[in-house]
Amino acid sequence: MARYDAAAAGEAPAATFTPPDFRDVLAHLASGVAIVSCWDGQAPRGLLVSSITGLSVEPPRFLFCVRKEAGCHDALLRRPALSVSLLAADDKEEALRFASGSRAAERFAPERWRLQPGAPPTFRGGIARAECFVDAVIDTGSHSVFIVEAERFAFTPAAPLVAWNRGLAGLGGAEVARG
């Protein structure tokens, strides 16, 4: 857990910090989570991302980041078609399958996934599912930024699954302020 000192609130940021310090900062940025998946030859591949955001409505684009060392990174570079599944609070177990390489054998069960030739592997759950194509990839050092455009999508209203402080939690039951 990141260091927290309530007495330090409002103080100026430290002049120097280490990469682990900055990882602690990023861990406290609450964000929605998604599974990004594609085919790698005949095998479905995928990973959990929390670095996803909507980029534009026209054209309909997402932006997400993938660590270059991730097992799915190179498959995403080779395949122009992929799916993005924005996860619901009820999808926590599926998210955990994709968050850990040790659970890779549990991924892509046909009862939870559409695995059809000619279409990217698509999760049957989630808040939204989009079939996308890669529009651009930007090299940013340790990560690649993928900009993808949605061609087809489906939406199912539900409470979202959120990543925060190196964990996952459903965001539900609380009133959402709308402005």
Spell out the alpha helix ranges (H) of the chain.
19-27, 73-78, 92-99
**Euclidean distance between CA atoms 28 and 30, whole angstroms:** 6
- Other CB atoms closer than 10 Å to residue 133's CB: what's the count? 13
Per domain, the residue ranges of the chain are 31-161
Whether residue 20 is preceded by a cis peptide bond, meaning omega within 30 degrees of 0, is no
**Tokens of residue 132, six digits:** 């996308």
Would you write out the chain's pLDDT as a tens digit for each of its 179 residues? Answer: 445 454 456 677 766 778 888 778 877 777 899 999 999 999 999 999 999 999 999 999 999 999 999 989 999 999 889 999 999 999 999 999 999 888 999 999 999 999 998 899 999 999 999 999 999 999 999 999 999 999 999 999 999 999 988 889 898 755 555 55
For residue 100, with 0-12 CB atoms within 10 Å meaning exposed, 13-18 middle and 19 or more buried, which class applies?
A: exposed
The candidate with the shortest Cα–Cα distance to 87, out of 127, 50, 124, is 127
**Euclidean distance between CA atoms 31 and 113, whole angstroms:** 24
141 CB-near residues (< 8 Å, 6+ apart): none
- Other CB atoms closer than 10 Å to residue 85's CB: what's the count? 28
Record: fold of 31-161: Pnp Oxidase; Chain A (2.30.110)
Predicted model pTM? 0.85
